[in-house]
Amino acid sequence: MRARRERERTWMDVLPPKLLRLSGRDFGTGRINFVQIGCSPTGEQCRALRSGFPGVLGDMSLQVKEAVVGRFDRTELAGYGVELRVHDPDLEQPALGAKAYYMKNVLHDFLDEKCVSVLQHLRQACAPDSLVLIDEMVLPTADSEPEQAQPGLRMLSYLTAMERTRLQWETLITRAGLQLQRIYTYDTELGDSVIVAVRA
């Protein structure tokens, strides 16, 4: 059921496309528009972004670990203007000054200290107007969650990974030297959201 919902709605249904548009000056400098950090072959977002937001132009980069890079078709991605690159999010971010850095279900596999480290690498790579897009579940806080949703969300958080509340996400983001700008929720039942952060 969760997989079906994700096919129906994604972060692209709620994030305003204008946030990802480059300026004329950006094109002149060859600025990278969109960097996706980590994904499975079925979770690649660059081509979907290119198709769903045709007004969002500019080069894109898909960064995956060496162990899985062979699962992707480099030539096919290049046809969409997407560079396939081997990169580990634990290391310094090589794509400097991109308009947006995007991660889906990457940080929920990590404990807090590792999350902060990954986000710090992104913060160091960010330009003043760069966006860090974190596509994760945002659990409701204990004093605001509906009683009927509380048991299911708690069980789901135990089974999937370390899912976090808004306050927990904001704390991690702040520790990394970033600032939480806004959260766009695209699945209100499960809390699937794209968290937008910028340099503090």
Cα–Cα distance, 138 to 152 (Å, whole number): 14
Which tokens go with 171?
Answer: 């704390």
Q: What is the dihedral of CA 181, 139, 52, 68, to 10 degrees?
A: 100
Write the burial class of residue 102 (CB in 10 Å: 0-12 exposed, 13-18 middle, 19+ buried). buried
Nearest alpha carbon to residue 118 among 38, 185, 195: 38
The helix (run of H) or strand (run of E) holding residue 63 is: strand 59-64
Task: Pick the catalytic residue from 5, 21, 108, 175.
Answer: 108
Q: Which helix (H) or strand (E) covers residue 114, if one does?
A: helix 112-125
Contacts 24+ apart (CB under 8 A), 6-9: 6/187, 6/192, 9/186, 9/187, 9/192
Catalytic residue check, 87: no
Active site residue ranges: 108
